[in-house]
Amino acid sequence: MAEHTSSGGPTLEEGGETRRDFLYLATGAMAAAGTVIAIWPFIDFMNPSRDVLALSTADVDLSPIEVGQAITVTWRGKPVFVRRRTAVEIESAANVNLADLPDPQPDSARVKKPEWLIQIGICTHLGCIPLGQRPGDPRGDYGGWFCPCHGSHYDTSGRIRKGPAPRNLDLPPYQFVDDGRIRIG
Amino acid sequence: MSAPQWKNPIVRWIDYRMPIFTLIHHDLVDYPTPRNLNYWWNFGSLAGFLLVVMIVTGVMLAMHYTPHVDLAFVSVERIMRDVNYGWLIRYLHMNGGSMFFLVVYIHVFRGLYYGSYKAPRELLWMLGVVILILMMATAFMGYVLPWGQMSFWAATVITNLFSAFPVVGESVVHWLWGGFSVDNPTLNRFFSLHYLLPFVIFGLVFLHLWALHTHKSNNPLGIDVKGPQDTIPFHPYYTAKDMFGMAVLLLVYLAFVFFAPNFFTEPDNYIPADPMVTPHQIVPEWYLLPFYAILRAVPNKLGGVVLMFASILILFVLPWLDTSKVKSARFRPIYKQLFWILVVDCIALGWVGANRPEGVYIVIGRIATAYYFVHFLILVPLVGWLERPRPLPESIGAPVLGGGGAAVGATPKPMEKA
């Protein structure tokens, strides 16, 4: 509209490289960049805050857990399964043909000490908590865990053996502080 | 304005079924705007911009805020310390409130100076007053949410205003509190309403704009648009001017946010609310100080409350109190002086409101309060009759286009086909 006010000004036939176009593009680019920069704090605002991140480790005392028992602890708001496996369970977990597994992983890659299996207790299918921690729970066909939501069976190493779950139970990062304690996270 | 022909087939398909593109074109692009608007006309769009900023930052803050007496204060401190950019979002919201009132007050005084409240814009003006009242209610309730000492005692004092009304006063106050003192139910309902009212304001802004676009903007000369030579299209002229104004506003606003974020607030509000101890000095936020001064100017509880509410409500009838047919103060030599006296009067009221009601402040407060009402109830109607306005120009375009003759090459093209 305003181009019509000056008669001697440059016209579009010059390829559009006029002062006005330059100013228009420069202003638009500045406005776009400024908007993007201004939006970032609003997005980051919704990310986990410092106090949430500070809760990202959990210490667990292993000494009260007898052989064959399991406990569930909370880490980052999720259940973590800690099971002190029996010799039979360790053996059955180790003697598995990896080619039979949907998500092949040797038992040795899933534990730091064979006696202690520590994994995130969330079914990798759709996020339910598998049964098998308590003595009376169904443990599925492979003696590990059984997810009641859609029937996934996990073995004594927490590996998926049957059912819709795509992956073995996830492992949290953890380390042994000493023989009787671990720090998750 | 003829309806535009859309080339894009998708745009044309949508526009045929719901003419949203035609509406935007009509009201934001082609929209004929008086060619002589000055910078005082920037403040409406700035207020709209700040409303959006307040809603966006407020919705974000609500994601981390907890409306409970035991948790509200710590949740705000958590936003300040632990939440990513929480300090920024909260300071934008806090100072945004002050900027919003600053901009709106300038917008209101612009209307007073140029007579924008006069026929046929009375409804437009009254909708604006409703928006102003809702803004005050929203700002007050927002101030309560951090649950600091000032929050708590502001809530106590302001809700107690209603106890001044005879017979029903006490029941009304208990109803407002949801209990026998300001407590958790009060905080919960204030949070609920503080979240709701901005969206009510947002709706009213659209009514305000509807009324505005029916008779179009007033202008510094206060005379009606006589034809296409008096207007220019909103885009690019006023979109560009509004963007420039917005950049200036952002400079001021962000200067406070980054360099003096607590300039407008009381340090006492960083002390958690204590229902057993009132701070030594209680003052409202700066934008409510003039009304606070009016409240304290009257030595009678009910009288003070009534006058305070009347000071805002009087704006509703201003279009009928002003008897002058001339809109702009440019052509009203006496009213122009009265306008500036009113500005000084309002600033004096704010200054009195910020100080303890002792000695000279009581006297000044009473004089300023009396003058405020004298201005609207006596001077404005009288001056309309007595004043002899200066001659009005023939048209908006005439002074710039040389005697109102046909514009030579200076008239923007879209106007020619109108």
Please indicate if any CB of chain A lies within 8 Å of the CB of B89: yes
Distance from CA of B367 to the nearest CA of A (A): 47
A69 and A130 assigned to the same domain: yes
Contact B85 A46 (CB under 8 A): no
Contact A49 B83 (CB under 8 A): yes
Q: What is the pLDDT of residue B2?
A: 59
Question: DSSP letter string over A61-99?
Answer: E-TTPPTT-EEEEEETTEEEEEEE--HHHHHHHHS--GG
Q: Domain total for chain A?
A: 2
Going by C-beta distance under 8 Å and a sequence separation of 6 or more, which residues neighbour residue B334?
Answer: B383, B386, B387
pLDDT-above-70 percentage for chain A: 91
Rg (CA), chain B: 24
Angstrom distance (rounded) from CA B78 to CA B100: 26
Tokens of A70: 């399991």
Contact A2 B412 (CB under 8 A): yes
Chain A residue with the nearest C-alpha to that of B409? A5
Angstrom distance (rounded) from CA A81 to CA A79: 6
A119 and A140 assigned to the same domain: yes
Q: What is the pLDDT of residue A10?
A: 47
Backbone φ, ψ for residue A119 (5° rounding): -150, 160
Angstrom distance (rounded) from CA A51 to CA A34: 30
Contact B78 A42 (CB under 8 A): no
Q: Does residue B329 contact residue B336 with C-beta atoms inside 8 Å?
A: yes
Nearest alpha-carbon partner for B45 in B241, B203, B251, B237: B241
A67 and A145 assigned to the same domain: yes
A19 and A100 assigned to the same domain: no
Distance from CA of A16 to the nearest CA of B (A): 19
A27 and A62 assigned to the same domain: no
Q: Return the amino acid letter for B235.
A: H
A57 and A41 assigned to the same domain: no
B125 exposure class (CB count in 10 Å sphere: 0-12, 13-18, 19+): buried
Q: Does residue B213 contact residue B16 with C-beta atoms inside 8 Å?
A: no
CATH of residue A91's domain is 2.102.10.10
B213 exposure class (CB count in 10 Å sphere: 0-12, 13-18, 19+): middle
A39 and A63 assigned to the same domain: no
A126 and A73 assigned to the same domain: yes
pLDDT digits (tens, 9 = 90+) for A156-175: 999 999 999 999 999 999 99
Please indicate if any CB of chain A lies within 8 Å of the CB of B88: yes
A59 and A34 assigned to the same domain: no
B38-282 under CATH 1.10.260.40, yes or no: no
Q: What is the pLDDT of residue B412?
A: 43
The list of chain B residues with pLDDT below 50 reads: 1, 404-418
Q: What is the pLDDT of residue B95?
A: 97
A13 and A32 assigned to the same domain: yes
Contact B63 A1 (CB under 8 A): no
Please indicate if any CB of chain B lies within 8 Å of the CB of A2: yes
Contact B81 A46 (CB under 8 A): no
Task: Outline which parts of chain B fall under CATH 1.20.810.10.
Answer: 38-282
Give contacts of A 43-102 with B, CB under 8 A: 44-47, 49-52
pLDDT-derived band at A4, boundaries 50, 70, 90:
very low
Contact B414 A47 (CB under 8 A): no
pLDDT digits (tens, 9 = 90+) for B153-168: 999 999 999 999 999 9
Range of the domain at A32: 3-45
Residue B37 CA to chain centroid, in angstroms? 20
The verdict on whether B241 is a catalytic residue reads yes
Q: What is the pLDDT of residue A3?
A: 43
Q: What is the pLDDT of residue A1?
A: 40
Nearest CB partner across the interface for B236, out of A2, A49, A50: A2
Nearest CB partner across the interface for B60, out of A45, A47, A52: A45
Please indicate if any CB of chain A lies within 8 Å of the CB of B417: no
Q: What is the pLDDT of residue A57?
A: 85
Contacts of B80 in chain A (CB under 8 A): none
Cα dihedral across residues B201, B203, B206, B211: positive or negative: negative
A60 and A30 assigned to the same domain: no
Backbone φ, ψ for residue B404 (5° rounding): 75, 10
Contacts of A7 in chain B (CB under 8 A): 409
Distance from CA of B415 to the nearest CA of A (A): 10
Contact B63 A7 (CB under 8 A): no
Q: What is the pLDDT of residue A16?
A: 56
pLDDT digits (tens, 9 = 90+) for B166-218: 999 999 999 999 999 999 999 999 999 999 999 999 999 999 999 999 999 99
pLDDT-derived band at A79, boundaries 50, 70, 90:
very high
Q: What is the pLDDT of residue A15?
A: 56
Nearest CB partner across the interface for B85, out of A4, A41, A51: A41
Instruction: Answer whether residue A62 shows pLDDT above 50.
Output: yes
Nearest alpha-carbon partner for A44 in B60, B174, B190, B219: B60
Q: What is the pLDDT of residue B390?
A: 95
Q: Which long-range contacts (CB under 8 A, 24 or more apart) does B240-246 make?
A: B241/B37, B241/B39, B241/B42, B242/B42, B242/B45, B242/B46, B245/B39, B245/B42, B245/B43, B245/B45, B245/B46, B246/B45, B246/B46, B246/B49
Please indicate if any CB of chain A lies within 8 Å of the CB of B409: yes
Would the pTM of this model clear 0.90, i.e. be above it?
A: no
Backbone φ, ψ for residue B355 (5° rounding): -115, 160
Chain B residue with the nearest C-alpha to that of A51? B82
A25 and A96 assigned to the same domain: no
